[in-house]
Amino acid sequence: MALLSSGKLANLLRLADAGGRFKMLAIDQRDSLRNALGKAAGREPADITYEDMAATKALITESLAPYSTATLVDPVYGLPQAVKVIPGDVALLVAAEETGYERAGTGNRERKSRLIQGWSIAKAKRAGANAVKLLVYYNPDVSSEVLSFQQRLVERVGKGCAEEDLPFLLELVTYPSEETSGDTPEFARKRPRHTIESAREFSKGQYYVDILKLEFPGDLKYSREFHVGVFDGRERAPVYSLEEIQGYCREVDAAAQRPWVILSGGVDIREFLTNLELAIDAGASGFLCGRAIWKDAVPRYPDLAAMRAFLTSEGAYNFIRANAVAERARPWFAHLPFVRWEDLRVADDGQEWYQRYQER
Amino acid sequence: MALLSSGKLANLLRLADAGGRFKMLAIDQRDSLRNALGKAAGREPADITYEDMAATKALITESLAPYSTATLVDPVYGLPQAVKVIPGDVALLVAAEETGYERAGTGNRERKSRLIQGWSIAKAKRAGANAVKLLVYYNPDVSSEVLSFQQRLVERVGKGCAEEDLPFLLELVTYPSEETSGDTPEFARKRPRHTIESAREFSKGQYYVDILKLEFPGDLKYSREFHVGVFDGRERAPVYSLEEIQGYCREVDAAAQRPWVILSGGVDIREFLTNLELAIDAGASGFLCGRAIWKDAVPRYPDLAAMRAFLTSEGAYNFIRANAVAERARPWFAHLPFVRWEDLRVADDGQEWYQRYQER
């Protein structure tokens, strides 16, 4: 019998479609969006104002949230506008982490994540969030000091979500700690293991994770089938085959003892759709995707009308294609730790439930 | 500029359809359902068990919640099962009041409402509720002691909802304090004034009400047009005309400085649909209806298969008809205190919003 508390169950149902599949939009980018807007407008990132960020996010949210089952915003620039433009039948996810990271470890190549100062899980819940999302940078090969720092942060947020009875979506993103860049054969080679090990670690009960948001376990641009520049015109040295990558996807699914969704990490839409197909073949429950869907609107900034024209045509088309792929996703309640819808129940239900259920 | 806090706005949007119209199902009845089940099964109400109540409510909720924009449950018998069977795009309303009332005043003919012991607004919020509903009995002609008791109760719940940033739906139900029954010409004559005065009182700012759930301001069975037994076969003395009742509806709309919806009070479906048409003509924003839609399933108890057959055919048809009428409802954001969608904003938005926004 799979037991869930009332708030977790009610809000998990809101995040997914009627079949239990996640088709989620991310518009919680901060520094990466600020840099892209600066580039588009020929201005320094520091000259992009709060209002520039808020207006861009509101425009993307208004245009694309209606295609999603849930939309992820940040509380700083996004939430106050998003609440009005996200349709009532689309759920609201709110990011908990501060943008970027603190450098740490040997040669300052390691990363510690931080929470947004002045924000909290209790505030997210009160403001109407249906789930809290936390991004942590996690490369399983770095120092145990940094790994344990990141683990403690996840534990803290997981417990906080349990106290508020709110679903907890954990995003895990690796990074190169030895290579010159993430776009190298050496790092491409490591990606599958990083994703698999991270999924295994954060499926442990002490983290109270409800949904894992994972990177695709490999880089198709380094696959034998796609290495000749299929996605971005640049040829790279192949490091694995598509069949091997399919095996990594299955390993992710086995390691994840939680429903998992795939992120886009800013790859182009064609590459993302291929990632999504492969992840869903292996048992992913959908996607939480931002830039792959809407990033081509950003070079049009500050022409908001041109951005809107892109978002409501190409952007919407991108979303519809991703949704079509996700129709085949495994429903969240069919993944571990649940497996059978019939067995799912509110924990501790029965005659005295309402008295025993806690306020915090 | 109409300002709403984030949690109020996000959840108001969830309660309504995309056009801002409330099409809501009530299945929070307790004593009245217990009595009806007892009658149907030929048992004493006291012999109807917790499991009987919970199973009946789960069956009605599962069958009809998909037709609603929001479903109202009680936390005692309904919520733990309802959370699983209410679709993810249908909002959850939770009742705060104890069933029945405490007798008070002259001749014990007056009514004081009470909250459910062991439950709270904070629990409702944490469990996933999108709004709190409070029913208070309110006959504006009774003693000032009882009126002020009821007012203080509403104030307390209103403040509690504001603290949790959760919409507050207040249901006002009058009762005969001098007449032998509510089904008398004398009381039918009083109904319009009671509803109008109650709507005016609880639109005051100190109650923090977001939606008023009101009785129809009149009894069509006592109207000149319908008094010959059109709805229930029983002839009654007419006390007003349909045109006069239309005027009362307009008075309710003027008195209500909040979006308002109509309740069914257990009348038959044909009478309810007529009430609904008239209320919507005058500016109601929809309905929150229980028994008129599903009560004819209850005499089939304990034959759950027969109940399900009724609910998924006649019951669904009743709901669809009510929804069709509600298509003409005034969107909640077009009613006072909002009026224009364009002017609606999250209060205190801007750069420091997330820091200033409070946890409680």
In chain A, residues with a C-beta closer than 8 Å to the C-beta of B285 are none
Please list the ranges in chain B whose pLDDT falls under 50.
none
For B:245-274, CB contacts with A below 8 A are none
Helix and strand totals (H; E) in chain A: 13, 12
**Do the Cβ atoms of B87 and A118 come within 8 Å?**
no
pLDDT at B348: 86
Do β-strands B110-112 and B102-104 pair in parallel, antiparallel, or remain unpaired?
Answer: antiparallel
What is the pLDDT tens value at each position of chain A, 360 positions in all? 689 999 999 999 999 999 999 999 999 999 999 999 999 999 999 999 999 999 999 999 999 999 999 999 999 999 999 999 999 999 999 999 999 999 999 889 999 999 999 999 999 999 999 999 999 999 999 999 999 999 999 999 999 999 999 999 999 999 999 999 999 999 999 999 999 999 999 999 999 999 999 999 999 999 999 999 999 999 999 999 999 999 999 999 999 999 999 999 999 999 999 999 999 999 999 999 999 999 999 999 999 999 999 999 999 999 999 999 999 999 999 999 999 999 999 998 889 999 999 998
Helix and strand totals (H; E) in chain B: 13, 12
**Cross-strand pairs, B212:** B170, B260
User: In 3-state terms, what secondary structure has residue B232?
Assistant: coil
In chain B, residues with a C-beta closer than 8 Å to the C-beta of A346 are 80-81, 83-84
For the residues of A7-39, what is the DSSP string, one character each? HHHHHHHHHS-TTS-EEEEE----HHHHHHHHH
Q: How many CB pairs under 8 A join A and B?
A: 151
In chain A, residues with a C-beta closer than 8 Å to the C-beta of B354 are 75-76, 79, 116, 118-119, 123
Evaluate whether B17 touches B323 at the Cβ level (below 8 Å): no
pLDDT at B194: 98
The two structure tokens encoding residue B145? 């002691």
In chain A, residues with a C-beta closer than 8 Å to the C-beta of B99 are none
In chain B, residues with a C-beta closer than 8 Å to the C-beta of A24 are none
For B73, half-sphere exposure in the C-beta direction (CA atoms, 13 angstrom radius) is 35
For B:191-250, CB contacts with A below 8 A are none
Closest CA of chain B from A88, distance in Å? 4
- Distance, in Å, from the CA atom of A175 to the CA atom of A182, rounded to the nearest integer, reads 6
Please indicate if any CB of chain A lies within 8 Å of the CB of B73: no
DSSP state of B329: S
- Distance, in Å, from the CA atom of B148 to the CA atom of B171, rounded to the nearest integer, reads 16
**Do the Cβ atoms of B118 and A355 come within 8 Å?**
yes
**Do the Cβ atoms of B128 and A16 come within 8 Å?**
no
Closest CA of chain B from A123, distance in Å? 5
Top-level CATH class of B2-356?
Answer: alpha beta
- pTM for the model stands at 0.97
Do β-strands A110-112 and A102-104 pair in parallel, antiparallel, or remain unpaired?
Answer: antiparallel
Please indicate if any CB of chain B lies within 8 Å of the CB of A355: yes
**Do the Cβ atoms of A10 and B344 come within 8 Å?**
no
Please indicate if any CB of chain B lies within 8 Å of the CB of A145: no
Phi then psi dihedrals of residue A49, to 5 deg: -85, 170
- Distance, in Å, from the CA atom of B277 to the CA atom of A282, rounded to the nearest integer, reads 52
- Nearest C-alpha in A relative to B117: A355
C-alpha dist (Å) from residue B17 to A179, B11, B134, B285? 52, 12, 22, 11
Q: Which helix (H) or strand (E) holds A121?
A: helix A121-127
- Distance, in Å, from the CA atom of A160 to the CA atom of A172, rounded to the nearest integer, reads 18
Determine how many CB atoms are found less than 10 A away from the CB of residue A44.
10
For B5, half-sphere exposure in the C-beta direction (CA atoms, 13 angstrom radius) is 25
pLDDT at B1: 65
Please indicate if any CB of chain A lies within 8 Å of the CB of B97: no
Using the structure block, give the residue that is written with the tokens 């399983």. A140
Please indicate if any CB of chain B lies within 8 Å of the CB of A79: yes
CB neighbour class for B176 (10 Å; exposed up to 12, middle 13-18, buried from 19): middle
Using the structure block, give the residue that is written with the tokens 């590459």. A271
